[in-house]
Structure 1
Amino acid sequence: MHKRLSDITGVVLVGGKSRRMGQDKAFLAVEGVPVIERILLALQGCFEHLLLVGDRPERFARYRLQVVPDSYPGSSLGGLYTGLQHAETDLIFVSSCDIPFPDPELIRLICAASASCDAVVPATAGGPEPLFALYRKSCLPLMQAALEAGQYRINAVLGQLNVRTIAPEQLAKLDPGGRALLNINTPQEYAACRLET
């Protein structure tokens, strides 16, 4: 049994508009369980503190967690910035709300690599996955500058931070099927993900 970490806050970004999906991705059921609940279950096993970032807190009232409104609505960088800003810990582990198979072992691996860097980001063959990653409050000034300049892409900020990358080969050892970082953005991806289960 792993001990839950008290020095890292688990943050779930729930403010997306789900335009491509056409319905709220957080509440799509996979194996009969809404994606948001699958993510919360994984994070609750890893962290003592959890925080949701997004608007319309009434949608998530049943989970009895703090929901903070996004300082820069509609952008994932804004959600990440808001989570870092409101967390009481120096470190946060962030997840988007569209990852149906979050792996607690991968979360712990990412968190264990946090020493002397601003962020720890896993990378697949397709590139970095900055919305299932670890960030330190030292990222806040650069994030704020980018947001105030109208730059809302996380990858633009990552290039200026001291980032430790979890390489695809390392990920493959832990998650040979590549399911842990799968995210669902379209009805086609949702259908494919349900076929996998």
Structure 2
Amino acid sequence: MCSVAKSFACMISQCNDITGVILVGGKSRRMGQDKAFLLIEGLPVIERIIRTMQGCFKDLLLVGDRPERFESYGLPVVPDLYPGSSLGGLYTGLQHAGTDRIFVTSCDIPFSNPELIRFICTDTNPYDAVIPATEGGLEPLFALYHKSCLPAMQTALEAGNFRITAVLQQLQIKTIAPEQLRQLDADGRALLNINTPDEYAACKELKP
């Protein structure tokens, strides 16, 4: 395994066979405006995430409706096969990826940490998924997934069960413990997400 202290050269080589997937299909109901285009430190959140992901993965894929919103970024956008849920977006990303594994992030995590991403993407066998475990629980929308997850996801979606947590119970998961996260994310910003105006205001107050 590539430890936290080892060079990025080892980590980057592990990411060549992984597709980066950004979920952009959320309705932003609580925010009242499209979260992907909120400005943080002068840049839209989606652009911050794309820049980070491009530094980690050769191939990127956006999953969500209304692809015209993202034409200027020159990346492929595929519509959700099961619209209306994060699980549907995750399933769609796995289905369309040209690699066996994907790293997925939602479009409301503005401080994505490339070091943490690369660490999550190492030493995955024989796991179906690698997911950070924060003090508040698992963060399944900043995680690594294998196509071996697809049957369980499809069964849940076809049954009308759109909860990611229900599917995770059926998978073999490796978790990144909170103490490991703190080594890679000293300022605690990497997994912050913005769902409400108050959370957005708090993120804008954080120092670069």
Aligned residues: 197
Alpha-carbon distance between aligned partners in 1 of 2:58 and 2:84, rounded to the nearest angstrom: 28
Question: Stretches of 4+ moved more than 6 A in 1?
Answer: none
1:11/1:51 contact within 8 Å kept: yes
Q: 1:113 offset after TM fit, Å?
A: 3.0
Alpha-carbon distance between aligned partners in 1 of 2:114 and 2:105, rounded to the nearest angstrom: 12
1:54/1:69 contact within 8 Å kept: yes
Identity of aligned residues (%): 72
Alpha-carbon distance between aligned partners in 2 of 1:6 and 1:112, rounded to the nearest angstrom: 11
Secondary structure in 1 matching 2:119: helix
**1:165 equivalent in structure 2:** 175
- Equivalent residues in 2 for 1:68-107, closer than 5 Å: 68-107=78-117
Secondary structure in 2 matching 1:65: coil
TM-score by length of 2: 0.93
Letter in 2 for 1:146: A
Q: 1:173 offset after TM fit, Å?
A: 1.2
Which runs of no fewer than 5 residues in structure 1 stay unpaired?
none
TM-score by length of 1: 0.98
Letter in 1 for 2:21: V
Alpha-carbon distance between aligned partners in 1 of 2:122 and 2:16, rounded to the nearest angstrom: 13
Q: Which region of structure 1 is more displaced relative to structure 2, 133-142 or 111-120?
A: 111-120
Secondary structure in 1 matching 2:103: strand
Alpha-carbon distance between aligned partners in 2 of 1:108 and 1:100, rounded to the nearest angstrom: 17
| 1:35 and 2:50 aligned | no
Which runs of no fewer than 5 residues in structure 2 stay unpaired?
1-7
**2:166 equivalent in structure 1:** 156
Alpha-carbon distance between aligned partners in 1 of 2:72 and 2:78, rounded to the nearest angstrom: 15
1:116 aligned to which of 126, 130, 146: 126
Q: 1:174 offset after TM fit, Å?
A: 1.1
Alpha-carbon distance between aligned partners in 1 of 2:68 and 2:123, rounded to the nearest angstrom: 35
**1:134 equivalent in structure 2:** 144
Secondary structure in 2 matching 1:39: helix
Letter in 2 for 1:157: V
Q: 1:71 offset after TM fit, Å?
A: 0.7
Secondary structure in 1 matching 2:16: strand
1:113/1:164 contact within 8 Å kept: no
Secondary structure in 1 matching 2:17: strand
Alpha-carbon distance between aligned partners in 2 of 1:174 and 1:135, rounded to the nearest angstrom: 20
Once superposed, what is the RMSD of the aligned Cα atoms? 1.0
Higher strand share: 1
